[in-house]
Amino acid sequence: MKRFTLFFISYIIWILLVLPLDLQTLILGFFVALIVALLFGKEFVENYKRLWHIDRLFWFLVYIPVFTYYLILANLDVMYRVLHPDLPIHPGIVKVKTKLKSRSGRSVLCNSITLTPGTLSVDIEGEYIYIHWLNVKSDDVDLASKEIVEKFEKYLMKVFG
């Protein structure tokens, strides 16, 4: 069942990629998706049934505009720092804590952190993430978590539980 879900998703992506459809590409895509499903079925998300929960998908759709807003904010922030003649940066590596439990949730969180203002996730160890911060406001674990993680966590908690 897990493999079937992966097969289904990879087949859809294949179809979108080759879009002017004909029979040849459809058959080829079937076999490619089959191979992908057989090889990587085990490494696919732990709890595949969650993929089809409507409320999770809904919260993920809510998450996209929030993420886009912070992505654009991040770019304006970096742009300001880069163009400023004095280069106003105070870099450092801080440690933050996340409440997310699932592996996929944590990796989405890390990716979101990397793409938002002045932060870049370096390593993850259990529930602690090490983050390179361009403008360190506090090196305390709790305060830094509040500043960096919380704005995404409340949405991702609803998506990944």
Contact between 142 and another protein per CB under 8 A: no
Tell me, rounded to whole angstroms, the distance of Cα 139 from its chain centroid.
24
Chain positions 1 to 20 lying near another protein, rule: CB under 8 A, are: 13, 16-17, 19-20
User: Interior CA angle at 135 toward 129 and 137, to 5°?
Assistant: 75
First-residue to last-residue Cα distance in the chain? 21
Tokens of 66: 């929030």
State in angstroms the smallest separation of the CB of 105 from another protein. 14
Residues in 24-63 that interact with another protein by CB under 8 A: none
- The residues in 79-98 that bind another protein, with binding defined as CB under 8 A, are 79, 81-83, 87, 89-95
Residues ≥6 apart with Cβ < 8 Å to 155: 59, 62, 63, 66
Neighbour tally for 156: CB within 10 Å: 23
State in angstroms the smallest separation of the CB of 9 from another protein: 12
3-state secondary structure of 1: coil
CB of 106 to another protein, least distance (A): 12
Report, in Å, the least distance between residue 87 CB and another protein: 6
List interacting residues with another protein (CB under 8 A).
13, 16-17, 19-20, 71-72, 74-75, 78-79, 81-83, 87, 89-95, 107, 110-112, 114-115, 118-123, 125, 130, 132, 134, 136, 139
